Amino acid sequence: MQTPDPPGARLATRLAFLVAGFGVACWAPLVPFAKQRLQVDDGTLGLLMLSLGIGSVIAMLRTGPLCARLGCRPVIVAGGIGMVLLLPALVLAATPLTLALALLGFGAALGSLDVAMNVHAVEVERAAGRPLMSGFHALFSVGGFAGSALMTFLLSLSLSALSGTLLCAALMAVALALAAPRLLRTARAPAGALLALPRGPVLLLAALAAVMFLVEGALLDWSALLLTDTGLASAARAGIGYVVFSVAMTAGRFAGDAVTARLGDAATVFCSGLMALAGFGVLLTAGRIEVALPGFVLLGLGAANVVPVLFRRAGTQRDMPAALAVSAITTVGYAGYLMGPAAMGFVASHAGLPAAFWALAALLCLVPIGARALVRPGT
């Protein structure tokens, strides 16, 4: 195993998170172009976009074992290169089938990079001897903002979608070239499990991750509609809720390492869960948008550091190899992110959207309840 170089490895890890967030966000402004190019309806487009999630989940299940056998470095590089090569392919796909295949591959590259960079982050944090995970995750959020903003700006200049993706892919390639030589050569484990399925304390970590990813996915897909349905905002301004949530979550992650170092993992998760619950309470009882927005702030701050702590605990538990544990909670969490909004829609269609959000708040109670278990032996 390579002797850790924490400063260089920290930079490489931050660049990996930045590339992942940047790359997936570049796709969002391209969706209307894909719909127009392929002449498909919203239902077909939704099925095509599901290909990205399917590719990610399949790759996540296999990436943990690959990291355990090969180390994180080649998997991060391969996943990043896959995203670089396939981003332009998303605007070249001329049929629904080719776009589905391109999204499947792009999702697989993203899923592999996502798991491998989190496993690598666990190793880097362990070598540094202090909390770093929240700061790493903050770079993913920064990358997401930068990717969507840059692609939107380029398209607004009447640059072609292909030219825009080639430019963004080139920036990602430069970041990967800077990161690659600084990535740790982690120890390789003997051949073992083919799939990373949670067991022991990792089951709890995975369940809590699923809840938090579900909350984030529900806010992304449904918060604007909640504001319009309750009369708190017009359709043109309803997106401000998720913007406020995202900014608060990013800011919370930049401060999260210092908070975790002071409070400890269990207290951080407990307080974060209570803060997010308070955010739901404020949001769902607000009668004016000026009151609802602080609810989004509390939700963002509360959601900021739970998942980074869960990844850290996955790296320190002893029931599963760290690579497999991180892969397992990433997969389960991402599944919650994909399926949660659909479940919200089902509940909303029968009981109304506010009731669906109250149900989500009730589910979120599992986070502060489960926080105490994080300090038990084995977790």
What kind and span of H or E run contains 368?
helix 366-371
Tokens of 210: 């699923």
In degrees to the nearest 10, what's the CA dihedral of 74, 189, 318, 140?
0
The pLDDT of residue 48 is 84
Tokens 């660049």 correspond to 15
CB 337 within 8 A of CB 243: no
For the whole model, what pTM was predicted? 0.85
- Nearest CA-CA partner of 150 in 172, 177, 134, 135: 172
Q: Count Cα neighbours of 344 within 13 Å in the Cβ-side half-sphere.
A: 27
- CATH entry, 201-375, from 1.10.3470.10, 3.90.1200.10, 1.20.1250.20, 3.20.20.140: 1.20.1250.20
Residues 6 or more apart in contact with residue 361 via CB below 8 angstroms: 277, 280, 281, 284
Residues 132 and 128: their CA atoms lie apart, in Å, by 8
pLDDT, tens digit only, all 379 positions of the chain:
454 556 799 999 999 999 999 998 898 888 888 888 898 887 787 788 888 888 998 898 888 888 888 889 999 999 999 999 999 999 999 999 999 999 999 999 999 999 999 999 999 998 888 899 999 999 998 998 898 889 889 988 989 999 999 999 999 999 999 999 999 886 555 555 555 567 788 899 999 999 998 898 888 778 888 898 889 988 778 888 888 998 999 999 999 999 999 999 999 999 999 999 999 999 999 989 999 999 999 999 999 999 999 999 988 887 888 888 888 888 888 888 877 777 888 888 888 889 999 999 999 999 999 998 876 655 5
The pLDDT of residue 378 is 55
CB 213 within 8 A of CB 340: yes
The pLDDT of residue 3 is 47
Amino acid at site 191: A
CB 9 within 8 A of CB 179: no
The pLDDT of residue 294 is 96
Residues 285 and 40: their CA atoms lie apart, in Å, by 39
Q: What is 6-182's CATH superfamily?
A: MFS general substrate transporter like domains (1.20.1250.20)
Tokens 């407990």 correspond to 270
DSSP result, 157-218:
TT--HHHHHHHHHHHHHHHHHHHGGGS--PPPPPS--SS----THHHHHHHHHHHHHHHHHH
- Nearest CA-CA partner of 314 in 299, 324, 301, 303: 324
Residue ranges covered by each domain of the chain: 6-182, 201-375
The pLDDT of residue 225 is 85
What kind and span of H or E run contains 219?
helix 201-229
- Nearest CA-CA partner of 341 in 217, 213, 216: 217
